[in-house]
Amino acid sequence: MKPDSSETPILGEPSPGAPAESVVSRIEGAAVGILLLAMVALPAGETLARRFLGQGIAGSGVLVQHLTLWVGFLGALLASGAERHLALSTAEVIPEGWPRRSASLLTRMISTAVCALLAYASMKLVAAERGSDRTLPFGIPFWWSELIMPIGAGLMALRSAWRSGRGRQPWIDRALALAAAGAALALGAVSPSPWVVQGLLVALVVGFLVGTPVFIVMAGIAMALFWRDATPIAAVPTNTFSLVTSATLPAIPLLTVAGYVLAEGGAARRLVRAYKGIFGWMPGGVAVMAAFVCAIFTTFTGASGVTILALGGLILPTLVEEGYPEGFSLGLVTAAGSLGLLFPPSLPVILYGVVAQVPIDHLFIGGLVPGLLMVVLVAAYGIAVGVKAKAPRQAFHPREAGMALWGAKWDLGLPGLVIVAIASGYATIVEASALGVAYALLVEMGIFRDLSLRDLPRVLAHAATLVGAVVILLGVALGLTNWLVDAEIPTQLVAWMTAHVKSPGLFLLALNVALLVLGSVLEIYSAIIVLAPLVAPLGVAYGIEPIHLGVVFLANLELGFLFPPMGLNLFLAASRFQKPLPYLYRRALPFLAIMAVGVLLITYLPPITTGVVRMVKGGPPAAGAAIP
């Protein structure tokens, strides 16, 4: 999977569009940038006010949750304009000419129709809320905040319809897209015939296979299934609203912004210098450096794609210049892009903790040794290749190594700040994330001055594009998950598995295989939202420690990034380095096998995970809190 674009822009660069749209996009970017800064200021101010004044800012937590809703939908609108919503890359293998134009038109028609339905369903939610007397801080009516949902979805529908006009007869294509939206809205007045619902589901699956964004497909499937069961389709935006305005979720956009600020600054260059100074004297030291730098950078950003796009152009030439084979170097950069997803303050760990109701701090502690194991295995292979290739080794100069490490101290301080703030009880995870953004801005704009005030709107807009693509995906995925829960799918799955699979070890092996395949097809955030509620009850049924299950779950998804034919890292690396996918498949295969060994060790040696938690916490992990 990859962003829905013919070329993957680096660090969220928008793809070329119409000049009129660029002005609109700048306005949208400015608006979402202001909202993001407000999201940073409120929890950071709350923390400092509580510390130094003895009382916090009244209502700041609730306001940040609703700001997340606005940032999510405005960011999703930006992602629609920049074509950055995640989708399968099958459009690239469709033959040029009328087949590709037809596939593109189909994806636009489906996107326009589903977004129009989302807007309609969201208006139903707003209309129901207007009858209540709920208010936000400062007396703001509650439904005012919800208005961004129908507005954002409606604008995405119009944008998708407009972008349909890329063929020889653009106005006909646009009319077809709008007609699809009208037909979808008209279906609400018709009794839900099983044949009609099946036809809609088939159309959505076909659309998914030819490149329709994942969030569109998930939203469409959820609304079709709710419609079939005579449940109002407003259930989808209702679930979206409940997730997006949860107490913990604002940490995701905040940490994403912090990662983007570091990525756009000089953090990558300083980290490469620091780790090269530490490991450069070793056999294969540059490969070890690449593995550790990518892991740290992925920890910052929470996204392997950002690591590949931001660091690839820096690390790949370094490896080749040091004498490593080009194929190995490509495979290493591709594989290392997903290392670090188990380390704090990784966003997937936070999201899994929220969804599976597992203590997030326990997950971070439990993931330390498994995450380090994956990095060490990849680094060890790099040492072996470096020795075989007779890659040069630089002399170890303690002074240079110390200076390089000292030069990266501010960059390395970000995860330390977040971890200490949370572990000490000084700040909640959202407040710690806001402090992390403020810290990153101070480092890049104040200390190193790699970014200026003129750069800030662009960086915030790029971060908001990724945030929007992720947040709306999470929201609609929760709608689909709730349908699965209402249909008692988890209960039926537990009953079937326990009847046919008696051994916990065999269950874990089946889970490894299933998550490996699904992790290559689904984007990691949507995979967590959809699959974690199904997997968690199975773990309980087989007596598997929840922290251990969570780490196994995330490690498998990390491995899925490399699994052919649709692993996300494979597509991103092929696009970034302009290499054919089959070539990347071959080069990544050794790393896939090595990391699979690590996943099996993590799976079948639970003390690697739970032993550290018990050592630090002094007892078994406690149950977590439910999603607000």
Residue 201: the pLDDT is: 92
Q: How confident is the prediction for the chain on average, in pLDDT?
A: 82
- Other Cβ atoms within 10 Å of 540 Cβ, number: 12
Residue 622, pLDDT above cutoff 50: no
Mean pLDDT of 28-38: 89
Residues 6+ positions from 335 with CB-CB distance below 8 Å: 378, 562, 569, 588, 591, 592, 595
For 222-280, write each residue's pLDDT tens digit.
999 999 888 888 999 998 888 777 777 888 788 878 877 877 877 777 877 777 777 77
581, 324 contact by CB (below 8 A): no
With cut-offs at 50, 70 and 90, classify the pLDDT of residue 520. confident
Residue 471: the pLDDT is: 82
Residue 306: the pLDDT is: 62
Residue 3: the pLDDT is: 46
More confident site: 498 or 64: 64
Residue 104: the pLDDT is: 84
* b/e code 327-350 from CB counts within 10 Å (16+ = b): ebbbbbbbbbbbbbbbbbbbbbbb
**Lowest mean per-residue pLDDT among 56-60, 184-188, 252-256:** 56-60
With cut-offs at 50, 70 and 90, classify the pLDDT of residue 192. confident
**Lowest mean per-residue pLDDT among 11-15, 28-32, 471-475:** 11-15
Q: In 3-state terms, what secondary structure has residue 136?
A: coil
For 133-185, write each residue's pLDDT tens digit.
888 888 889 899 999 999 999 999 999 988 876 666 788 888 888 898 898 88
Cα(293)–Cα(408) distance, integer angstroms: 12
Mean pLDDT of 399-416: 80
Strand-pairing partners, residue 87, are: 2
Q: Cα dihedral angle (445, 447, 449, 455), rounded to 10 degrees?
A: -10
With cut-offs at 50, 70 and 90, classify the pLDDT of residue 17. very low
**Percentage of the chain exceeding pLDDT 70:** 89
Q: What is the pTM of this model?
A: 0.76
Mean pLDDT of 119-123: 93
With cut-offs at 50, 70 and 90, classify the pLDDT of residue 310. low
With cut-offs at 50, 70 and 90, classify the pLDDT of residue 428. confident
For 588-600, write each residue's pLDDT tens digit.
899 999 999 999 9
With cut-offs at 50, 70 and 90, classify the pLDDT of residue 90. low
With cut-offs at 50, 70 and 90, classify the pLDDT of residue 112. very high
Provide the token pair at 67. 């700001």
Q: Cα dihedral angle (345, 347, 353, 359), rounded to 10 degrees?
A: 10
- Closest CA relative to residue 13, chosen from 29, 32, 37: 29
Residue 619: the pLDDT is: 54
Strand-pairing partners, residue 122, are: none
Residue 301, pLDDT above cutoff 80: no
Cis peptide bond prior to 590, omega within 30° of 0: no
Residue 164: the pLDDT is: 79
Residue 138: the pLDDT is: 84
| H/E stretch holding 3 | strand 2-3
Cα(178)–Cα(112) distance, integer angstroms: 7
**Percentage of the chain exceeding pLDDT 90:** 19
Provide the token pair at 533. 């509620």
| H/E stretch holding 460 | helix 456-486
Of 248-252, 324-328, 419-423, the range with the highest mean pLDDT is 324-328
More confident site: 371 or 94: 371
621, 547 contact by CB (below 8 A): yes
More confident site: 185 or 94: 185
